[in-house]
Amino acid sequence: MFTFAIHKWLDLLVYHRGQPMLFNSVLFLVLFTLFYGIYILLSGEGKSKLIFVILFSLFFYYKSSGLYFLLLVGSICVDFVLAQAIGKAKLRWQRVSLLVVSLLANLGLLGYFKYGNLIHEFFSWSVGIPFEPLDIFLPVGISFFTFQSLSYTIDVYRGTLKPLTHFLDYAFFVSFFPQLVAGPIVRAADFLPQIHRPLFVSKEMFGRAVFLIASGLFKKAVISDYISLNFVDRIFDNPTLYSGLENLMGVYGYALQIYCDFSGYSDMAIGIALLLGFHFKENFNAPYQSTNITEFWRRWHISLSTWLRDYLYISLGGNRKGKTRTYVNLLLTMLLGGLWHGASLRFMLWGGLHGVALAFHKVIGNVRIKFSARLEWIKIFASGFLTFHFVCFCWIFFRAGSMQTAYSLLHQIFHNFSFQIVPDFINGYSSVLLLMLLGYAMHFIPRRAEDKIQSYVTSLPVLGKALVVALVVMWVVQVKSAGIQPFIYFQF
């Protein structure tokens, strides 16, 4: 019996392709508790602490992608050496050449794993041979750590950052496990100065960490997973089996699902980092409260939108080369941002629609229509209503398994919609609708009210904070499905 138990535990430490280690899994909770105890003991040890966290981070990534963790190690080694060489290079052409090597290494890695089959399909079509998809496994979070590593070499090239002289510092930065597999994308300039600071977790930091972890877990494991499995997935799997009302509510459900899923992960990542004494910037700021599409992208996946702005949009010329070029740059940036999510026409269409909307908003940005004080709230409401529904419309193409699925869903909404089934719909999906209502209420709650709740959690004694987490875990257990659902952005 004892041997069997040891074998079972050892098996849990081995990578299983269908069971990546997630923040919302019991295994992570157990391992993190052990890790945290040792981390505190090593807090003043400097190099020992760095090595310990790096090893745990690599194990965390191994549990997510198996031996593909060696890609992460390779990326760290290559960009560390290249950044040092860029910093020492005297001539501009040398620095440019070294940066190009970094770009080719990172984007080549990303290109093979994410776009290998798309390139192979195009090649097969161009030479007239049958297309047989390659068996390419997409390592979890490869887009995130390549973008993070690439931003470092670009900053060194631009002269805004000095190259690191210690390999362990750079390895710690890129592999740091809270944000490794699904962001947020952390900038070297923000993170590196924190590495050698003495471990300090104030009462406020600890309270905020508990709040973020508990709320993130609730958003992901209760709201997102439940409405996904019990409603949204069924609609998008076969929209023609459902009425226009059900399809429309499925779109609203997915808008909430992807927000709760991704912002929930970001909240947990930021909270876990806080427990370790590190500060990450906010990654979501109530994006569906936006009153225009530009504001939406200042609130949604902030680390990616700012990355695209600083390293792609500005590199293309930004708004420095005339209005027409500005609009083209916006469109190209969002098209490539869509392609970042996957090698599919659907993602490019999603990005392209947002690019056109951003350009259009910039065109009309100087138009000022004066409203009376009484009508100002109508303007704000109408702007928010239109922005939210445009974003929801774009989510259809992002989520649908094919363009045909997207077309079928839209056809059902516009040609098979009836209010007569509302009572039956409410009765049949009461639990889903209640969670959707709760999710949107949490999202649209004023920031001041959210801050007050966070302050209240922070003021609780340790036992009170433990009770908050226990209540969330109990709720998760009550609504969880047979298996733990992976985070949506793991596939990107």
**Domain locations along the chain:** 15-194, 203-491
pLDDT at 110 over 70: yes
pTM: predicted TM-score of the whole model, two decimal places: 0.89
pLDDT tens-digit map of 431-477: 999 999 999 999 999 889 888 888 888 888 888 888 888 888 888 77
* pLDDT for position 397: 93
Q: What percent of the chain has pLDDT over 90?
A: 30
pLDDT tens digit string along 20-45?
Answer: 777 777 778 888 889 888 888 887 76
Return the HEC string of the chain.
CHHHHHHHHHHHCCCCCCCCCCCCCHHHHHHHHHHHHHHHHCCCCCHHHHHHHHHHHHHHHHHHHHHHHHHHHHHHHHHHHHHHHHHHCCCHHHHHHHHHHHHHHHHHHHHHHHHHHHHHHHHHHHHCCCCCCCCCCCCCCHHHHHHHHHHHHHHHHHCCCCCCCCHHHHHHHHHCHHHCCCCCCCCHHHHHHHCCCCCCCCHHHHHHHHHHHHHHHHHHHHHHHHHHHHHHHHHHHCHHHCCHHHHHHHHHHHHHHHHHHHHHHHHHHHHHHHHCCCCCCCCCCCHHHCCCHHHHHHHCCHHHHHHHHHHHHCCCCCCCCCHHHHHHHHHHHHHHHHHHCCCCHHHHHHHHHHHHHHHHHHHHHHCCCCCCHHHHHHHHHHHHHHHHHHHHHHHHHHHCCCHHHHHHHHHHHHHCCCHHHHHHHHHHCHHHHHHHHHHHHHHHCCHHHHHHHHHHHHHCCHHHHHHHHHHHHHHHHHHCCCCCCCCHHHHC
pLDDT per residue as tens digits for the range 131-143: 677 777 777 778 8
Q: For all residues of the chain together, what is the average pLDDT?
A: 85
pLDDT-based confidence at residue 11 (cuts at 50, 70, 90) = low
Q: What is the pLDDT of residue 2?
A: 52
Of the residues 341, 389, 411, 443, only one is catalytic, namely 341
C-alpha pair distances (Å), 374 with each of 87, 290, 380: 59, 21, 11
Distance CA 243, CA 123 (A): 41
Q: Which amino acid is at 38?
A: I
Residue 29 to residue 32: CA distance in whole angstroms = 5
Per-residue pLDDT, 274 = 92
The string of pLDDT tens digits covering residues 304-338 is 899 888 888 888 887 787 788 888 888 898 888 88
pLDDT at 289: 93
Distance (Å, whole) CA 277 – CA 270 = 10
Give the angle 244-249-253 at the CA atoms, nearest 5°.
145
Q: How confident is the model at residue 485 (pLDDT cuts 50, 70, 90)?
A: low
Number of Cβ within 10 Å of residue 6's Cβ equals 10
Lowest model confidence (mean pLDDT) among 13-22, 97-106, 163-172, 256-265? 13-22
State phi, psi for 98 to the nearest 5 degrees. -65, -40
**What's residue 489's pLDDT?**
64
pLDDT of residue 453: 86
Q: What span, in angstroms and rounded, lies between the C-alpha atoms of 290 and 339?
A: 24
> Could you confirm whether 411 is annotated as catalytic?
no
CA distance 184 to 489: 11
pLDDT over 70 at 414, yes or no: yes
Q: What is the pLDDT of residues 163-191, one digit of tens each?
A: 988 999 999 999 998 887 777 888 888 89
Q: Would the pLDDT of 4 be above 60? A: no
- What mean pLDDT is predicted for residues 361-379? 72
The percentage of the chain sitting over the pLDDT mark of 70, rounded to a whole number, equals 89
